[in-house]
């Protein structure tokens, strides 16, 4: 099972990217999580759709080949970061070629506060529901404070967080299997 993971943060020591790396190590058997690089995407412009940028095409193809998607996002000004919205815009375009349609999608977020990504994830879920992704509602992954979850190397040290992530990944795996079975029928 192939899962594409996207971090909404480009920061070198991003907690959200560290979360995705932790998920890679906690993935259940048969699940491979690949973190997509969105840092090289140009700003979305409909004018550029005619000669689709290679970085955007690579992202679209990775999502289309995936059995499921994980998006881990920080919260910027009570919403998703612009870089994440830009990646979503590229992957959902051109009109009629939305790469997210029908894909099981799990949202997550880490912050230095207790629920710092709740509003961003709410917006993200709205966006992804509109794009016809199959957004997983439970478990919710509003993780924080990050200082109590990660050590200085970005490794998750909190066992209850590891257990929650393992449960969430099993949920994603089950949803992806269900989607594959439905589309094969």
Q: Residue 45 belongs to what domain range? A: 2-184
Q: Give the whole-angstrom CA distance, residue 22 versus residue 67.
A: 19
- Residue 44 has a pLDDT of 97
- Residue 114 has a pLDDT of 84
Q: What are phi and psi of 47, to 5 degrees?
A: -60, -30
- Residue 158 has a pLDDT of 93
- Residue 116 has a pLDDT of 81
- Residue 172 has a pLDDT of 98
Digits of tens for pLDDT over the chain (185 positions)? 999 999 999 999 999 999 999 999 999 999 999 999 999 999 999 999 989 999 999 999 999 999 999 999 999 999 999 999 999 999 999 999 999 999 999 999 999 988 889 999 999 999 999 999 999 999 999 999 999 999 999 999 999 999 999 999 999 999 998 876 566 55
Q: How many CB atoms lie within 10 A of CB 73?
A: 27
- Residue 99 has a pLDDT of 98
In the three-class reduction of DSSP (H, G, I as helix; E, B as strand; rest coil), residue 79 is classed as: strand
Question: Structurally, how many domains does the chain consist of?
Answer: 1
Q: Give the whole-angstrom CA distance, residue 150 versus residue 144.
A: 10
Q: How many CB atoms lie within 10 A of CB 40?
A: 11
Query: How long a stretch of residues is the chain?
Result: 185
CATH of the domain at 143: 3.40.50.360
Predicted TM-score (pTM) of this structure: 0.95
- Residue 184 has a pLDDT of 58
């Amino acid at each position: 099972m192939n899962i594409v993971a996207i971090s909404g943060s480009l920061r070198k020591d991003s907690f959200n990217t560290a979360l995705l790396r932790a998920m890679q190590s906690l993935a259940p058997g048969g699940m491979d999580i690949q973190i997509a690089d969105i840092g090289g995407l140009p700003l979305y412009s409909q004018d550029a759709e005619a000669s689709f940028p290679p970085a955007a095409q690579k992202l679209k193809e990775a999502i289309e080949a995936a059995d499921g998607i994980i998006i881990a996002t920080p919260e910027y000004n009570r919403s998703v970061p612009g870089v994440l919205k830009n990646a979503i815009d590229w992957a959902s375009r051109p009109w009629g070629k939305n790469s997210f349609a029908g894909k099981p999608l799990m949202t997550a977020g880490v912050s230095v506060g207790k629920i710092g990504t709740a509003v961003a994830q709410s917006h993200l879920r709205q966006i992804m529901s509109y794009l016809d992704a199959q957004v997983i509602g439970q478990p919710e992954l509003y993780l924080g404070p990050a200082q109590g979850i990660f050590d200085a190397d970005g490794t998750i040290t909190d066992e209850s967080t590891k257990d929650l992530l393992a449960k969430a990944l099993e949920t994603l795996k089950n949803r992806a299997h269900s989607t594959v079975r439905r589309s094969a029928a």
